[in-house]
């Protein structure tokens, strides 16, 4: 039996295959219906090892320590079954096993083995893409897609979603015009592809085309209304554009009404909220008591240690909520993880994690010289923390502000110029204001006292 992409699957009933197809399409569209479809597959055919493997991988992607037990249960269910007949399904199982052992890159590489033989396997394509994104491997994210692109034609059911992923990879590797073009093509083919739609928004963000970005997102809300919590992230992008254009009241309204409509503790939702609140504060805006619920959630995550990207945003929340004891706890745990060096996640905790977290801690204590020294070190490898340019930019902004506040004007200016170069030469409002701040500070320093 073959699935919707023409890939052989070891399912025995049409009903189970239909549910599997629905799950795959839902996953590609970041649909909230994805877990339900996967549950339907397992209900109809509990002996389908690939479904257990996908379930385990999905839970690991959520980056919560308590969900590792669910992924482990999925692995145990697989071990109680006969070995999968198909190589594709064996690779999926092995990927789950490797991730549970701490070898996240090897798990991704195991999925890549599927694509070498079955390049049109859109499920494998999206899983590989997701892992590369989580682990900050933008080069492999792009290479993987370019390896499979020639095998797709416009009639392939996932062609539009593939273009959405490729648009994002292009944007993350600095090809903003192509990202916009390919992303727009993909959304025409797959109007429910929120990932592709948001890839185009990324391109506009990186090139300071705020008006175009707002025009692109406005009126297309139906393209992400069906999504899981990814819909909050698309609203976050719109909020960034509103902030860039000075519409602060609308930013706060969007934060309260959409971005934090559901008070979840998913690390991706925490990252949306903390990054936006931090940007607002760096611009001098009072965010009220909005840090408190973020800090409450983050206090319960100090021992997670699943992903450095998550920890960095928990740290922002703890800083904003002035939770000094929790800051000490998360720093101590990170130091233990980095010293252990037993997994891919541990290694990223060591670099850039320790320097980045130490810099944030110093920033929260108004030790701007110390913050700038540590954050400058972390900046060199911050890509390894995962996430996107837009998501990591909040840490670049903090680094630059630490430099300005500590009087390291030349170094801060150099970082601003490097940031601008990475953004296609575009100068956004943050850069414009900071360049002026540095110029004014130098002017004040050169003034002679009146005789």
pLDDT for the residue 250 = 99
**C-alpha to C-alpha distances, 367 to 43, 283, 361, nearest whole angstrom:** 56, 19, 9
User: Tokens at residue 263, please?
Assistant: 């008070």
DSSP-derived letter for residue 382 is G
Tell me how far apart the alpha carbons of residues 238 and 235 are, in angstroms, rounded to a whole number: 5
Other Cβ atoms less than 10 A from the Cβ of 322: the count is 12
pTM of the predicted protein model: 0.96
Residue 446 pLDDT:
59
Matching residue, tokens 């629905």? 22
3 state DSSP class of 80: coil
Query: C-alpha 424: how far from its chain's center?
Result: 21
Q: Which residue has the tokens 């020639």?
A: 150
- Other CB atoms within 10 Å distance of the CB of residue 422: 14
Token readout for 324 is: 């000094």
Domains located in the chain, CATH noted: 1-151 (1.25.40), 263-445 (1.25.40)
Chunked into runs of 10 residues, the chain (451 residues) has average pLDDT values of 97 98 99 99 98 99 97 99 97 99 98 99 99 98 99 97 99 98 98 98 98 98 97 99 98 98 96 99 98 98 97 99 98 95 94 98 99 98 97 99 98 98 96 98 65 38
- Cα(432)–Cα(436) distance, rounded to whole angstroms? 6
Dist. CA 344–CA 356, nearest whole Å: 17
Residue positions counted in the chain: 451
Dist CA 307 CA 95 (whole Å)? 18
Tens of pLDDT, residues 373-420: 999 999 999 999 999 999 999 999 999 999 999 999 999 999 999 999
Whether residue 104 contacts residue 131, with contact meaning beta carbons closer than 8 Å, is answered with yes
Distance CA 235, CA 221 (A): 9
Residues 6+ apart with CB under 8 A from 388: 133, 168, 171, 172, 202
pLDDT for residue 341: 86
């Amino acid at each position: 039996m073959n699935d919707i992409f023409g890939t052989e699957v070891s399912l025995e009933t049409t009903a189970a295959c239909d549910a599997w197809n629905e799950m795959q399409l839902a996953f590609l569209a970041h649909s909230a219906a994805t877990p339900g479809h996967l549950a339907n597959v397992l209900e109809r055919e509990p002996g389908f090892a690939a479904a257990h493997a996908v379930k385990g991988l999905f839970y690991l992607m959520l980056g919560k320590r308590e969900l590792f037990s669910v992924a482990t249960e999925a692995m145990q269910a697989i071990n109680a079954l006969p070995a999968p007949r198909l190589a594709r399904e064996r690779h999926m199982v092995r990927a789950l096993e490797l991730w549970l052992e701490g070898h996240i890159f090897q798990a991704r590489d195991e999925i890549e083995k599927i694509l070498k033989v079955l390049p049109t396997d859109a499920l494998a394509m999206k899983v590989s893409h997701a892992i590369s994104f989580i682990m900050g491997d933008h080069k492999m994210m792009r290479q993987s897609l370019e390896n499979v692109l020639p095998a797709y034609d416009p009639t392939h059911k996932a062609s539009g979603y593939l273009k959405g992923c490729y648009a994002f990879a292009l944007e993350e590797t600095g090809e903003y015009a192509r990202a916009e073009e390919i992303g727009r093509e993909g959304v025409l083919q797959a109007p429910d592809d929120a990932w592709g739609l948001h890839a185009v928004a990324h391109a506009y963000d990186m090139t300071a085309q705020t008006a175009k970005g707002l025009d692109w997102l406005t009126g297309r809300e139906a393209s992400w209304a069906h999504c899981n919590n990814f819909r909050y992230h698309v609203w976050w992008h719109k909020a960034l554009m509103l902030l860039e254009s000075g519409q602060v009241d609308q930013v706060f309204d969007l934060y309260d009404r959409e971005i934090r409509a559901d008070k979840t503790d998913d690390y991706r939702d925490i990252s949306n909220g903390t990054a936006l609140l931090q940007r607002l504060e760096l611009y001098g805006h009072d965010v009220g008591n909005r840090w408190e619920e973020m800090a409450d959630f983050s206090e319960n995550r100090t021992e997670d240690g699943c992903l450095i990207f998550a920890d960095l945003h928990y740290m922002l929340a703890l800083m904003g909520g002035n939770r000094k004891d929790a800051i000490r706890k998360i720093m101590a745990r990170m130091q233990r993880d980095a010293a252990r060096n037993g997994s891919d996640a541990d290694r990223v905790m060591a670099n850039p994690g320790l320097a980045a977290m130490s810099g944030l801690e110093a920033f929260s204590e108004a030790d701007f010289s110390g913050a700038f020294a540590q954050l400058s070190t972390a900046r060199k490898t911050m890509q390894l923390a995962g996430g996107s340019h837009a998501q990591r930019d909040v840490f670049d902004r903090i680094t630059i502000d630490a430099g300005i506040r500590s009087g390291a004007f030349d170094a801060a200016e150099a970082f601003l110029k490097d940031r601008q170069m990475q953004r296609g030469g575009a100068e956004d409002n943050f850069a414009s204001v900071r360049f002026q701040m540095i110029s004014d500070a130098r002017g004040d320093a050169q003034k002679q006292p009146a005789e």
